[in-house]
A and B are shown apart, each in its own frame.
Chain A
Amino acid sequence: MSSPINLQHVNVKLLAKNPEQVDLEPLIPVFHNWIEGQIFEELLLDVADYRHVQAGPGVVLIGHQANYSVDNTDNRLGVRYNRKAPLEGSNQDRLQQAARAALTAFERLESEARLNGKLRFNGQEIKVYVNDRLMAPNSDSTREALKPELGAFLGKLFQGSEYKLSHGSDPRSLVAVEVKANRAFSVSELLANLAS
């Protein structure tokens, strides 16, 4: 029996379809416009361009409570939400908040004219990280403690559809779980599932 876990600083990354077709440069003006409009509930502050590093964070929209990025860590391109400020509520609330934020950002980017429809969710792959090594060390016991929380969260997200879980092998990395749904979902479908 694993001990309960206090999930804070949840990151959710939604992987992109055909990543080789995605040009990250147009994201810079897009993110600047998001700051100008302060379009999310988080305070948006700055844009950091790391396209020059391989398999890096890509283009990052820096916020006070959270960062949004089109991230290429591990050479896997996707839209990532990185929660920095602690959140009240239950673990489920926090998982759902991070997923909702990532999905909302992805939905906007999918319809962003300057990206020419090239940045699309691949429909099936999501990565969930916990960005705090002290509260969530990368260990089997943390993964055990995560299991029921993820089970409940993914059950809601996929509305009972099957999925597979896997994780990386480097114990130095953040604890993370890769989720692959057995069927493809659209961003709007997943958002609707979370809202249900």
Chain B
Amino acid sequence: MKKSFLWAGGQWLFVLLLLASRSIVPVYAQSPSDANFLATLGELRNATFDDKDKIVDRLAQSGHPSVRAVLTAFLEDRLYFRNRDQKIFFVKPGEEGASTLDLIDPLTLKSAGSGSADDFTKILTNNHLRRVLQTTLARFGLSSPDASVRLDAVRDMEKDLDEGNVQLLRERSSVETDSAVKEELATSLALVALNGSEAQTRLSAISILRYSLRQDVLNKLQALLEKSPDGSFVESDEHVRQAAAAAVKSITRRRSVYSGIQTVFFGLSLGSVLVLIAIGLAITFGVMGVINMAHGELMMLGAYATYVVQVAMPGYIGTSLLVAIPVAFVVSALTGILIERTIIRFLYGRPLETLLATFGVSLILQQLVRSIFTALNRSVQEPSWMSGTLQLNEALSITYNRLYIVIFTVLVFAALLVVLKHTRMGLAIRAVSQNRAMAKAMGIRSEWVDAMTFGLGSGIAGIAGVALSQLTNVNPNLGQSYIIDSFLVVVFGGVGNLWGAMVGGMLMGVVDELLEPYSGAVLAKIFVLVALILFIQTRPRGLFPPTGRASESQ
């Protein structure tokens, strides 16, 4: 009884399915090439990675109109098959991890309803397959109206210079109008020509390549100068060898100049991080003479403020970062003022007690944050305009996030100078730090100024936290890893001197980066530390020692 009922149910289902499939047919009639395309696509389901590689090739050869969309989806991990009927779909971008998938039919490229993620299996890719897909898709990009897309396409295709790709590049180079793409095409075709049988072809290829700065070009040219195991040169022609040697020399020389520039930039960017974390301290420690061990935690609060602002503004990552700057300043400044009013003001003139008390405060702040946000790292996302590199040429590229941080440091520094030199508050701060009794006599509320000064230094620490959130982990220990460095910079630059912190930080950064390639990061750090100790031994008041009463304030 039960069995027959089930059977009937099964039959009904079958009939329904039949009806459903019939109703689809008139909407889209399958041509033989469609069927072929679908069958090839279907093979992806159970193929090994090596087989998938070949299937992708066959799909690309098929010339089917939807091949580009399907392969793009495959590259971006959006290709699925339905477990029930093994039918292949891809889904709209930006749905990773969603529980329902918006399906797209691979033939018509039209929406095909949606389904629960549990009913579908993703067709996996690996690194090699993604490379194959990229070069395959690059061929489509070669005829794009957008020059930058064409440039990327040429660069992707260069990684796999087989017969087909070379042919396509050649065809493109005869019609290409954009100069950058043209140059790229010429270089890659010259690289191919380097394997040509005629010495004259090779010679003219070198004459093109010698203006390049690319590492792979250099490798290719250097390979010409090597000897085979039997003692003969790889390159048989004397003239070609000479030309190659000259080209190698010229490329190497130019590359080393650029790599020197790059190292200096690395140094400046490391230095600007040091300056940023130190200038807040240069105010609290330098101007007020307070050893604030919780300075690092104030940076951490700034970084967490960035995180909170970002979470509060989903979808506006770039804007949230800009909003976070004032927010972090206020949060850290208020915390700083609170610390000053409740603890530090009772300890002025007693540095050891201040040190211990603020160290205690730093532990309290850490545990507070750990209790609220847990000990896990929080991810602060990078806005798109901060990721990537500014490619000045083949040998010199500068990452945007570092570039922005260098600029940011300079801006913060300039703003701080303006505040100290050209505002009433700055005047009061300088007056109190130079001569408290006289300032009081002139009617300045020195207590209030102390709180404001400490708040200013703390606020700058918060701003440094915003920058650090873009470079490193946001977790409760963030401050600890930077506190030593910031004290070093301030002591090195000369206590009480903002310019000292600037020059000292930059110098430390550049020296560190210059040493690192030779000594490794661990030793470089030790060398810098030892050099610093020696320096402080001979000049205990730092790079820019205060020389008179007036210079005390800077």
* A and B held together in a complex: no
